[in-house]
A and B are shown apart, each in its own frame.
Chain A
Amino acid sequence: MDYQFLWRPVFQSLPDMLDAAWITLEVSILSMLAGTFLGLFLYFFRTSALWPVRFFAGVWIELARNTPALFQLFFFKFGLGAFGIFIESYFVVFIALAFNTAGYMAENFKGGFNAVPPTQLRAARSLGMTFFQTQLYIIVPQVMRIIYHPMTNQFIWVILMSSLGMLVGLRELTGETQFLSSKTFRTFEFFAATAVIYYIIAKIALGLMSFIGWRLFKGPQ
């Protein structure tokens, strides 16, 4: 092995990489939030009485869950380009990850809402609560508790998958690494450093989600 590892260019570019890591974090958090809200709507659409609404939600959920995230990314980037719709890379990543997350979160919400016994809804209503009070104080808190763990997994997944931004030209952490490594040809060193940064980000995100969960639900899951 006559390869000389050269780490100096990596250390010199570390500030740029950390800046790019913020973009990764930002786009991940935004897509996760949007995806969760959309997922909730999709779940309600899926249980709607109107079949076109049900059908729309069904198509979205199945497409999101049964095609690769990279395919979805390419579709929003290049596929829509065929219709003259050109979206900036940042929004492509945001839209694709939100689209994907919505599909998975809709399934999570389904599991969560199904796990709350319907008798509770009737009990709350007969105590004089309105429909929205029942949802807000009785149903949703329990659903949140049930889906919090899968939601955490989804969030970590979104952070990791935002790395695909590199392939549509977004200079988030992976894209930036690709750019920097192409200047110096130190591919291994740069991507090793990026791997470490991702690992740390994933661990911090996991710790933060556990902490928030612990505060929200008073005690460990």
Chain B
Amino acid sequence: MATSVEVFSNLQASDLLFLGEAALKTLEIAIVAISIGTIFGTIFGWLLNAGNLAVRLVVNGFLDVFRSVPLIIQLILFDSFIAIAGFPLPAFWSGTIILSIYTSALVAQVALSGIEAVPLTTRRASRSLGMTYWQDMRYIVWPIGLRAVLPAWVGVALSVLKDSALVSVIGYTELLKASQILITRTAETFTVLAVAGLFYFALSYPISKASSYIEKRWQQ
């Protein structure tokens, strides 16, 4: 490298560690957002099923916005809004908040179709056996509905894991952002991107395979 100007430094073994740590950060924000989003999404889904017309319209209208506006716009909007409002948050938290709402908008649909997957006659039967509404929910709707929509939920979780890459836009150093930092330093564009891609693949592929395996087993 005698001829080149010493602007870039070469890739080192520690850079792999740097990317690995960034992959953990991706995993971290994804797990937090998916957990919060799933809890709220399930509640929203239940509201969409059990609420009256006004509740359903409001909840659906609210969630629909998050499904119809690009995630990147949501992140930039929220980030600039909290700055305007005078409550600047660390990038991790503003990213988590938006990702959680986004997740809950997607999970709400999954939860709704899960509840609707249980035939009404089955639910009437459980109620006439003397079960309360919540017993029916817990022992009849939950197990049947969960089986029907678990693959869809895994799909949502995987898409959130991948979409968490967008949080880099508001300054959270997750996997993709870390790879950009490395590229700026080393100019090894292809290698760094390939490694980052491998990390994403390693996070996502096993889960997607496990999901389709479970789906197949349940169908037998």
B161 closest partner in A (C-beta): A68
CA distance A191 to B180 in the complex (A): 25
Please give, as numbers and ranges, the residues of chain B lying within 8 Å of A191 by CB-CB distance: 73, 76-77, 80
- Which of these, B70, B168, B176, contacts A163 with CB under 8 Å? B70
The reply on B84 being an interface residue by CB < 8 A is yes
> A75 — which chain B residues lie within 8 A by C-beta?
193, 197
Report the contact-size class of chain A (Cβ under 8 Å from the partner). Answer: 35 or more
With both beta carbons as reference points, the residue of chain A lying nearest to B202 in the complex is identified as A66
How many residue pairs between the two chains, A and B, have CB atoms under 8 Å in the bound complex?
Answer: 105
**Chain A: minimal CB distance from B203 (Å):** 8
Please, which residues of chain B bring their CB within 8 A of the CB of A208?
none
Q: Which parts of B143-173 form the interface with A (CB within 8 Å)?
A: 158, 162-166, 168-169
Chain B: interface secondary structure? helix
B205 x A66 contact (CB < 8 A): yes
Inter-chain CA distance A164–B176, complex, in Å, is 14
Q: List, in ascending order, chain A residues with CB within 8 A of B71's CB.
A: 160
Q: Which chain B residue shows the least CB distance to A188?
A: B80
A78 in contact with B163 (CB, 8 Å):
no
Q: Does A23 contact B (CB under 8 A)?
A: no
For residues 182 through 210 of chain A, which have their beta carbon under 8 Å from a beta carbon of chain B? 187-188, 191-192, 194-195, 198-199, 202-203
Q: Which residues from 39 to 71 on chain A have a C-beta closer than 8 Å to any C-beta of chain B?
A: 62-63, 65-71
Select from chain B the residue with minimum beta-carbon distance to A167: B169
A156 in the interface (beta carbon within 8 A): yes
Q: Does B68 contact A (CB under 8 A)?
A: yes
Asked if B189 and A82 make an inter-chain contact with CB atoms under 8 angstroms apart, the answer reads yes
Contact check, B183 vs A174: say whether CB atoms are below 8 A apart.
no
- Taking CB atoms, residues of chain B closer than 8 Å to A90 are none
Chain B residue at minimum C-beta to C-beta distance from A162: B70
Which of B80, B168, B194, B208 is close to A65, meaning CB atoms less than 8 Å apart?
B208
Pairs of residues from A and B, 10 with the lowest C-beta to C-beta distance, nearest first:
A82-B190, A163-B70, A68-B162, A202-B68, A68-B165, A66-B204, A160-B70, A188-B80, A187-B80, A82-B189
Chain A residues at the B interface, C-beta cutoff of 8 Å? 1, 3, 62-63, 65-71, 74-75, 78-83, 156, 160-161, 163-164, 166-167, 174, 187-188, 191-192, 194-195, 198-199, 202-203
By a beta-carbon cutoff of 8 Å, the part of chain B in contact with chain A is: 65, 68-74, 76-77, 80-81, 84-86, 158, 162-166, 168-169, 176, 180, 183, 188-191, 193-194, 196-197, 200-201, 204-205, 208
